[in-house]
Amino acid sequence: MGNKSFFKKILYFLGIDDDLSEEKVEEFNVSNSKGEKGRIINIHQIPKNKMMVFKPMSFEDVEEIADELKSKRAAIVNLESIDKENAKRIIDFLSGSVYALDGSVKKVGSGTFVFTPSNIDISGMDIENTMKENEGELLPFNKKK
């Protein structure tokens, strides 16, 4: 019987005979005791919240600011050095942009506004309160004297 088992092992080794009765194969099942799958998070997909600061010199600069909002980044916009008409156009355009993105806009200083997309929440005074305080004037720093 020794030769037969030796010959069977050679056949098994060569892949001709895959039925080797002398080997026992143990099977076992590994399962999570809680029955839950682990949570896997790819750290490269976690967005980094950034805030960009802009000081537009003309209405043409508004496209770059809107692109930042579309990329889920907040924008601080300083309008102190631009004329009243263009400042109002910029605020109107960016207000429409954040509305479309379910974001918000807040005034944080004289001629400085924060425009945020939906993933960033800010609280505090807003444009409506500013307009009420300044008798309907949105940009009191640009008043003509």
Contact between 68 and 103 (Cβ < 8 Å): no
**First and final CA of the chain: distance in angstroms?**
115
| pLDDT tens, position by position, 74-89 | 899 999 989 999 999 9
pLDDT at 108 over 70: yes
Q: Burial, 12: exposed, middle or buried (Cβ in 10 Å; 0-12, 13-18, 19+)? A: middle
In this structure, CATH architecture of domain 50-140: 2-Layer Sandwich (3.30)
The domain locations on the chain are: 50-140
| Most confident residue range from 8-17, 86-95, 115-124 | 86-95
Task: Name the percent of the chain lying above pLDDT 70.
Answer: 56
Query: Can you give the pLDDT at residue 63?
Result: 93
- Ramachandran angles phi, psi of 117, nearest 5°: -80, 180
| pLDDT tens, position by position, 36-85 | 566 666 666 555 677 888 999 999 999 999 999 998 888 999 999 899 99
Two tokens at 136? 């309907």
